[in-house]
A = this chain, B = another copy of it.
Amino acid sequence: MSGRLFIVGTGPGNPAQMTPESRDAIAAATEFFGYGPYLDRLELRPDQIRIASDNREELDRAEAALARAAAGADVCVVSGGDPGIFAMAAAVCEAIDKGPEEWRRVDLRVTPGVTAMLAVAARIGAPLGHDFCAMSLSDNLKPWDVITKRLRLAAEAGLVIALYNPISKARPWQLGEAFSILREVLPASVPVIFGRAAGRPDERITVMPLGDADPDHADMATCVIIGSSETRVVSRDGSPDLVYTPRSFTGASH
């Protein structure tokens, strides 16, 4: 008899932004697989077991979790944000696709969550209020020329661009190069939002025009949102600026 395999998203890291559905899934499981800092967000019972692994070992982790669920355990795979956005749900599906037949019979339950770009957008106004795309800037899993092609086409299409995994110690120059490419297509006045740790105590949200955008404002906990030509900044007395992309397309430019 196969156990259940829950894949949950904890949301951006603020417990008030985790859904009751994810909380219930966590309560129902007994073995927890995930990147250590995401597992640290959970308050587990003494009978619940942690199996932490490194952030770059997603497929191994998915296989280990599936093996335990197939053996009858109630297992929970933990992602930050939403598990379907650059996270563990795709790794588990890939492991099922490539793995033994019995893994296809595991009772799989994915619970959605608030992904980072939504948390950042909520803190600054509504930058994702019109058509947008979400891309991972990591070239660990795809060639850099695919990324640059996508950036160009997305900007030409007029999509606001949310960048996940913008920078890391092993990938220090890619975000600066991405800004350079986007400056060839977009006006220098387009606002860029560096949304770090949105909703958490160490939150830091910074806005600057694309022409001045400095990659040093990003770290591994940052989601970077680059506006379109339509995105607007509203100054407010005594409060941070609002950034939003109007629901209507006007054809206006900066």
- A-to-B contact residues, CB < 8 Å: 11-12, 14-21, 24, 58, 82-87, 89-94, 96-97, 104-105, 108, 110-115, 118-119, 121-123, 125-136, 141-143, 146, 149-150, 153-154, 156-159, 232, 234-239, 242, 244-249
Contact = CB atoms under 8 A, between A and B. Distances in A.
Contacts of A104: 234-237, 239
A84 B122 contact: yes
For the complex formed by this chain, how many copies does it contain in all? 2
Contacts of A93: 125-126, 129, 232, 234, 242, 244
A122 B21 CA distance: 12
Given A19-B114, A114-B112, A118-B112, A128 B84 contact: yes
B159 A154 contact: yes
Nearest to A233: B97
A149 B141 contact: no
A238 B105 contact: yes
Contacts of A234: 93, 96-97, 104
